[in-house]
Every structure is written in structure tokens, then in C-alpha cells.
Amino acid sequence: MKVMFLTREYPPYVYGGAGVHVEYLAAELAKVMHVEVRCFGDQDTVKNNVRIKGFPFGKNSFAHVDKKLSGALDTFETNLQTMSEQVDADLVHVHTWYAHLGGILAKTLYGIPLIHTVHSLEPLRPWKREQLGCGYDMSSWIERTSLGLADAVIAVSQGTKNDILEHFDIDPAKITVIYNGINTEQYSPTSETSALEKYGIDPAKPIVLFVGRITRQKGIVHLVNAIKYINSDVQVVLCAGAPDTPEVFAEMEASVKQVRKGGFKNLFWIQEMLTKEEAIQMYSHATVFCCPSIYEPFGIINLEAMACRTPVVASAVGGIKEVVVDGVTGILVPLDQLHVAPFEPVNPDVFSRDLAVAINKVLDDPVLADSMAAAGQQRTHDVFSWTSIAQQTKALYRTLV
């Protein structure tokens, strides 16, 4: 059996959880079948028995088009390019809307089954209109078409399956829940501190850590606004770059400036992308990891923190509730939402205060923190191994070939 993955992200060009998912799932599946990955980029290699071929993105073909629209059109163009080589696969498996069109074409032109993994849903990300303009209507159309044509749909959590059924007319029998995973041999505690020293972070002092993109979805501004309620002697480390839009970056800058103006001195904002090794060091030395997302189908960053033996404080939304066990591996913070764009909390300051209360609870109780850290690490080993996830994915493939 041979499967072709279509994805925007693949190493070394990974900026989100979908890219991490594809990297590890492809490598694990390659142990039992032929795997080809077609992605956005300049890759042209074979690694771990995975054939990787990148296709250029953003060739300036649409330089004279409104910038918000050019991103969507660049995506369309790159999808066409992914079909510029003969497809020799039994199935095509797509990841995120950026690659859905290629999957639609592969299924239609070559008559092979289409598997669509839902890492997120466009109807639940209305803030993307700020980034894409009416290109958001195009991404929504492509996603809807791909889901409708798919022979099988993988939801990364039960919460995501529920969202699919709420927003799309799809036979529930076509949807299978298969979680994201974690490589616990790679993501494990380390005593190395070079990454912390590089940025002036003291590993001997308490650390509250965030890792993620600057986007409304990740809720980072709410964490920044919570800092004034967090114990003043801690270090807050924000590993946050890749802003969706200049506007959301400006909001982030203003919030950080306000915190510093208020006298909080131990705020570290790292805007460049960390290497995997650097991120593992950050996770390992954090006293508590915070994931304040307002929408999260799964939340692989929570798994990364848990695998590195760090307790998690996270918003009780989406798939996070299936990853973090409240009171056992961390604390879940309730979040009321307005189900209108841009999906902001009804009471943002209340949410920020609640995040701070949960973070302080972990900071103030080392015994509780250690217990949660140990339970979280064990949970990653017991439930979220890539070997198990690959076996489940292969079993689904077999029903279609």
C-alpha cells in the first residue's frame, strides 16, 4: 500500500501542530508502507523511508492582487503544482485547507480514495477573514468540498467530530476519531539549559511558559493580560512569533508594553522560531505551561509539555479537554465564548484572572505541581504514542483499499 500526504507544512517549514502531526505520522507509517509527502517548500529528499517533494509557494504570480487575496491565490497555485507529477498512490491523505484542493484533484483525476484529517475547521475560525479577506470564503469552500468528497474523515478529537457534525452535513459513520501523538523518546525532560541562557532566562527561578503562534485562536493576549494577576516573582516566557496579521501583532505589542509599564520585569518575549531541542529545554524547565486557546481541536503543545514532565494550565475548550485531565495532569480553566466573530471571551478580564488563579495554584504548591507533572508524563506514554496512532490510521486505510 502507498499513501500520498498533501500538506502545507513539513520540516524544515513547520509552524503549527498540523506540521508536527504530518512529520511524525508519515515517519511511523513509513515503517509499514510506502509514504510520499508533497508539501509547500523546496524539499526534495528521502528521509526515514519517506519521499518528500516540496513545491514553491508565493512565486509572486499575484503580486498585483490585494495582499489578503494573494495568499489564497498562492495556495491555489501551489496545489495545482502538487499535481504536476504523476500520482502513484493507493490513497491521498490531506492536512489543513491549504492542501485540500490537491486532494480533491488527486481523487477526481486518479480515482483514488481521499482521506481528510480535520486539524481545525474554517467555520470556527472567523478571525481568518482578517488575514485572508474574501480569501476566507475560498478556504471555506475548499474545506467544505473536500469534506463532502472524502471517503473517510479523521477527527483529531471527539470534540472535533462533534464540531464537524454540527457545521457540515456528513454521515457520522464516515468520521473516525484518531488523536494526535507525541514522540516520548524525543520529548522528554532534559537538564540542558543553553536555550534558556541564550535568552537570559534563569532556570533556577519559576517559569510560566507559552509556546505558539500570535493568533486570536491561541489566546496569547489573554495570558499577557493575566500577568498582572500572576505571582510577581516568576518569569513569564512567551515563545510566540508568526503573527497572523499586523493588527494582531500590534495588539500583542501593546499588551506586552502595558505589562512592562506596570512594572513586571521578568517578561521574556521570544519571537523567533525555536528549534525542537530549544523548545524541549523550555518545556523541561517550565514550572507550569499555559495554553489559553479560545479554539483548539486538539492542542499538541499540551502533549509536548506533559511529555517533558510539566503541569499544564489550559482553557477548557475542544480537544484540550481530552488531553489534559483536570486536577490530575493540570488545571482546565472554563471559557465562555461569544459564537460570533471573532470568538472572543464574553468577559476577557475574568478569563485572564481565572488563568492567573490556576497558574498561581500550581506555582504555590510544589507537591501538586510535581504530582501533575508525573501524571501528565505517564499519560503521554499510555495514550498518545505515534505507533498506536499509525496502526489506527493504517487500519482505516485498509477499509478503503
For residues 333 and 393, state if they share a domain.
Answer: no
Question: What mean pLDDT do residues 42-71 have?
Answer: 92
188 lies in a domain? no
Q: Residue 216 burial (CB < 10 Å; 0-12/13-18/19+)?
A: buried
- Give me the number of domains the chain comprises: 2
Model confidence band, residue 339 (pLDDT cutoffs 50, 70, 90): very low
* Cα distances (Å, whole numbers) of residue 275 to 20, 195, 211, 290, 381: 13, 9, 12, 19, 23
Q: In what order do the strands lie in the sheet with 207-213?
A: 267-270, 235-241, 207-213, 288-291, 312-315, 330-333
For residues 348 and 239, state if they share a domain.
Answer: yes
187 lies in a domain? no
Residue 6 amino acid letter? L
User: What is the C-alpha separation between 115 and 103, in angstroms, rounded?
Assistant: 8
Q: Which three cell numbers stand for residue 16?
A: 503549527
Model confidence band, residue 129 (pLDDT cutoffs 50, 70, 90): confident
For residues 168 and 302, state if they share a domain.
Answer: no
pLDDT of residue 17: 86
For residues 229 and 156, state if they share a domain.
Answer: no
pLDDT of residue 343: 63
Residue 153's contacts (CB-CB under 8 Å, 6 or more residues apart) are: 115, 116, 117, 118, 147, 164, 170, 174, 175, 176
> pLDDT, tens digit, for every residue of 231-253?
999 999 999 988 888 888 999 99
Residues in a beta bridge with 307: none
User: What is the C-alpha separation between 29 and 315, in angstroms, rounded?
Assistant: 32
For residues 14 and 156, state if they share a domain.
Answer: yes
For residues 73 and 209, state if they share a domain.
Answer: no
pLDDT of residue 244: 85
For residues 168 and 229, state if they share a domain.
Answer: no
Residue-range definition of the domain harbouring residue 122? 2-181+385-398
- Tell me the CATH number at 286: 3.40.50.2000
Q: Which three cell numbers stand for residue 261?
A: 509599564
For residues 123 and 212, state if they share a domain.
Answer: no
Whole-prediction pTM = 0.88
User: 184-194 as b/e, with b when 16 or more CB fall inside 10 Å?
Assistant: beebbbeeeee
Question: What mean pLDDT do residues 8-15 have?
Answer: 93
User: What is the C-alpha separation between 91 and 106, in angstroms, rounded?
Assistant: 9
For residues 82 and 158, state if they share a domain.
Answer: yes
